Amino acid sequence: MAPTRTGIIGHPVAHSLSPLIHQHWAAQLGLDCAYHLLDTPKSALREQVAALRAQPWRGANVTVPYKQAVLPLLDAIDPQAARIGAVNTILREEGRLTGFNTDAAGFLENLQQSAPQPLANYLAQVVILGAGGAARAVAFALHDAGARHITCINRSPEPAQALAQAIGHGSAPWAQRESALASATLLVNTTSLGMRGKPALPLDLSLLPVTALVHDIVYTPLITPLLGAAQARGNPIVDGLGMLLYQAQAAFAHWHSVTPPVTAALRTALIEAMA
Ligand code: ATR
């Protein structure tokens, strides 16, 4: 029998860590699976998705820049993914493709596993920086987890306002991002700033309570300038590698009906692969 086939659709995907993660679990669990890099130019997205409807594909991850564009090409969308407006995991069942968003669950699971205190202790005043696809997954996840006040802040105001309205919380202008930290219990950076090759997030943390948890979903480098600054003043921090691992865990569970373990050994393997 042919191996169960999955992969990742995006452009570019050459540096994706997902093959390493999924192949690690397949080997560990003794499953006959293959995970392919499906580098897909924009003009070929429809064709690539159509090809997934055939055996032996079980599904695929979807990454930048197609998490939104893929929605109309699928046969069904899970309600959570529809609310978020982004799909990062496709499951094929009897020739039908269903879109899921495991970024939201992965984000939350990582925070729960990594925060020094129970997550509920950090959900009183949440500040989310950024309003792209990742921010939408983060905002819905935190709202559903019971966050009391969420403030969405983005350089361009419209997406932050739209996201705040969608989750029934508030927004603030980019210029007020530092004053918004004054009573924050959780700060999440979902912008691409701080990523290797990009400028650091311009953010003075002086007003942030030192008990606030600071989470950056950027994981290259693992300690972003934001996390470094937060750590230096004594704030607890959570890096972005866990979100990558836990969204992969949820995708793997959709495809193979088994939840694989996120271990220190796997984390170390990823850190070595990134070096
Ligand atoms: P993703 O889907 O991964 O969230 P995205 O949709 O491209 O990626 O979102 C990138 C986020 O980083 C956006 O919130 C973007 O802000 P804008 O909506 O104003 O573009 C933010 N971002 C990128 N570069 C930025 C910069 N130099 N300063 C402030 N925000 C920036």
Please say if the pLDDT value at position 253 is more than 90.
yes
CB 176 within 8 A of CB 153: yes
Number of H helices, E strands in the chain: 9, 12
Q: How far is CA 180 from the centre of its chain?
A: 23
Whether 220 is in the pocket of ligand 1, judged by its Cβ within 6 Å, is no
Residue 25's pLDDT is what? 98
Q: What is the mean pLDDT of residues 80-86?
A: 97
Rounded-to-integer distance, Cα 43 and Cα 31, Å: 34
**Does pLDDT of 144 surpass 90?**
yes
Q: Which helix (H) or strand (E) holds 232?
A: helix 225-232
DSSP state of 63: -
Residue 104 burial by Cβ neighbours in a 10 Å radius (0-12, 13-18, 19+): buried
pLDDT over threshold 90, residue 38: yes
Q: In what order do the strands lie in the sheet with 186-189?
A: 170-173, 149-154, 125-129, 186-189, 213-216, 237-238
pLDDT grade for 209, boundaries at 50, 70 and 90: very high
* 161 within ligand 1 shell (Cβ under 6 A): no
pLDDT at residue 262 greater than cutoff 90: yes
Res 1 pLDDT > 90: no
Closest Cα to atom 11 of ligand 1: 191
Does the C-beta of 191 come closer than 6 Å to ligand 1?
yes
The model's pLDDT over 224-248, given as tens digits with 9 standing for 90+, comes to: 999 999 999 999 999 999 999 999 9
Pocket test for ligand 1, best of 103, 192, 244 (most atoms within 8 A of CB): 192
Please tell me whether residue 152 adopts helix, strand or coil conformation. Answer: strand
Contact 268, 73 (CB under 8 A): no
Using CA positions, which residue lies closest to atom 8 of ligand 1?
A: 132
Look at residue 43 and give its three-state secondary structure: helix
pTM of this structure: 0.96
Nearest atom within ligand 1 for CA of residue 135: 4
Region 269-274: mean pLDDT is 96
Compute the CA torsion angle 24, 31, 66, 201 (nearest 10 deg).
-20
For the stretch 42-75, pLDDT in tens is: 999 999 999 999 999 999 999 999 999 999 999 9
The helix (run of H) or strand (run of E) holding residue 58 is none
Q: What is the pLDDT of residues 162-207, one digit of tens each?
A: 999 999 999 999 999 999 999 999 999 999 999 999 999 999 999 9
198 is catalytic: no
Which residues does residue 60 pair with via DSSP β-bridges, in sequence order? 90
Render 66-104 in DSSP notation, one character per residue.
-TTTTGGGSSEE-HHHHHHT---EEEEETTEEEEE-HHH
